[in-house]
A and B are shown apart, each in its own frame.
Chain A
């Protein structure tokens, strides 16, 4: 593990601790409005916590909303990446190992989905059921499995020719052992890097869609949605707008660092 990755892990754990710790310490409702305290600046009064990071234009506690938004983003990223990685890796190994018409069919499918810019694909899926969490999740998973499939397929094709794998096959070992002993150890670091990138992409796509108001709908606490809601108040309450931006940056930074590759 490089220093860069450790910093990423540290940042991610801090965000996890923040998002799941806040509701334990301050049982605040992120949707509770209080029209007497609109857009109060942060007072860092941690005993009650409602106004510790200030309130938004409806008097909702920004502390509670930020924590809820991070929980939502990271939760969606986790289930999106897992449900994309499993079929992506399985189909990738299948296509790379078997070749032939299985490979051609799966590659054509991947090319068809890959032809559209990713965000457009998610937008079109989301257009079928606007504001639905399920549609957002399906769109994102549909986009993410591709990257796993393409990379794993290419790696498997390369590994299949490796002398160690050839020798194992000649000795008559079954596919399960071949996968466990020879393929997975080589694939795992790549899959983990892709998972971190995929999680970052999910977090950003969710926020981008929320921001242009085709993603999740108010009153859900979501980073992009919070930015749209707070943008009209940029003059009176720039600190309120900067909070979701800063949290978004930390979230993206932690996942990019965790991925451990040059940003591309």
Chain B
């Protein structure tokens, strides 16, 4: 165990676990404030959600009040609230009455599907273009890419989505504008998210390739007579992949943020859509569950990327 604890991978994983706990604490704290700040008596609202509006009585409300610790002073109630959260006891939706876990499991699946499509598409678009630009810096591909990347970065994802709807769904009538059901419905939301991600990952790949192709070992490979493509596949790709992948982890934050807006724009029944609906309906357990799931999703994906980076470059702390 001794050497294992000091190894960089274990340190990284421990840091990620700590980050996950911090996510839960932040979400718990903010939703706790949200409950306390709601107008009216929370116990009556929850009792109405649980037993139906006709069955709300003072005794039912008192039972709920006692159950949820709403009668306790704030610091104690906060501790109980966080404890429930850490046991993944998310409670029931105030709107539908079903448990939050049940509601979220379906929506989360849809979101992961969309995220996987978007991430996959962005990897097909971004890094190859970045490599092309990085191998010939200052040429047409490189300059064009910089222009497109700056433009894409200046516009929020939903505006790009709106333009895609106008062009591909309304003018060309190629794809459905919004909704869900057939694979065709996934194309526009996935493409919108992918384009936003690819604009950045292309630039990162371009810089990574330029760094690698300027390095001494790359020059030595050329000196010993390796041809352009062989040199790149043997010495370039793996070294350039580490920063690109590391940055891909940072981009998951952008992906999750984009999901909130893009799912709402395209009426995709995912977790971001659920979060927005829950906020509009002031459904606190659903807000908490959705925010927690999305936060932990980012942490989990970053952990995966940490491990992959470690496998690609096992020398120590990934850059």
Interface residues of A (CB under 8 A from B): 111-113, 115-121, 123-130, 200, 204, 207-208, 211-214, 224, 227, 231, 234-235, 238, 241-242, 245, 248-249, 251-253, 255-257, 262-264
Contact = CB atoms under 8 A, between A and B. Distances in A.
A255 B156 CA distance: 13
Interface in B132-163: 149-151, 153-159, 162-163
A116 B279 contact: no
B86 to A, nearest CB: 15
Contacts of B294: 117, 120
Interface in B166-182: 166, 170
B295 A117 contact: yes
A111 B279 contact: no
Given A112-B22, A124-B34, A256-B150, A119 B257 contact: yes
What secondary structure prevails in chain A residues at the interface with B? helix
Nearest to A139: B30
Nearest to B264: A212
A112 B279 contact: no
Contact of B151 (A118, A123, A238, A249): A249
A124 B30 contact: yes
Given A248-B156, A249-B155, A115 B26 contact: yes
A140 B178 CA distance: 30
A70 B311 CA distance: 48
Contacts of A119: 257, 260-261
A251 B155 CA distance: 9
Contacts of B118: none
Nearest to B155: A249
Contacts of A262: 203, 207
B46 interface: no
Given A123-B279, A235-B170, A115 B22 contact: yes
A128 B33 contact: yes
B253 interface: yes
Contact of B159 (A112, A125, A245): A245
Residue among B20, B25, B207, B261 with the highest chain A CB neighbour number at 10 A = B261
A244 to B, nearest CB: 8
Contacts of A118: 253, 257
A200 B153 CA distance: 10
A113 B26 contact: yes
A41 to B, nearest CB: 16
Given A208-B156, A263-B149, 5 more contacts: A112-B22, A113-B26, A242-B163, A242-B166, A249-B159
Nearest to B199: A263
A117 B159 contact: no
Interface of B: 19-20, 22-23, 25-27, 30-31, 33-34, 37, 149-151, 153-159, 162-163, 165-166, 170, 199-200, 203-204, 207, 247, 253, 256-257, 260-261, 264-265, 275-276, 279-280, 282, 287, 291, 294-295, 298-299
Contacts of B166: 234, 238, 241-242
27 contacts: A111-B19, A113-B26, A115-B19, A115-B295, A116-B23, A117-B298, A118-B253, A119-B261, A123-B291, A124-B27, A124-B291, A207-B159, A208-B158, A208-B260, A211-B158, A211-B264, A212-B264, A214-B280, A224-B158, A227-B159, A227-B162, A238-B166, A245-B162, A256-B154, A257-B150, A262-B207, A264-B200
Contacts of A124: 27, 30-31, 34, 287, 291
Contacts of A263: 149-150, 153-154, 199-200, 203
Contact of B253 (A117, A126, A129, A214): A117
A89 to B, nearest CB: 23
Residue among B26, B282, B298 with the highest chain A CB neighbour number at 10 A = B26
Contacts of A130: 279-280, 282
Contacts of B33: 128
Given A238-B170, A263-B150, A116 B260 contact: no
B279 A127 contact: yes
Contacts of B170: 234-235, 238
Contact of A127 (B34, B153, B253): B34
Contacts of A253: 150-151, 154-155
Contacts of B295: 115-117, 120
Given A115-B19, A120-B294, A126 B261 contact: no
A134 to B, nearest CB: 13
Given A116-B27, A241-B166, A263-B200, A213 B158 contact: no
B129 to A, nearest CB: 14
Contacts of A115: 19-20, 22-23, 26, 295, 299
A120 B260 contact: yes
- Nearest 5 interchain pairs by C-beta: A252-B154, A263-B153, A119-B257, A253-B154, A115-B22
Contacts of A121: 26, 30
Residue among A120, A130, A252, A256 with the highest chain B CB neighbour number at 10 A = A120
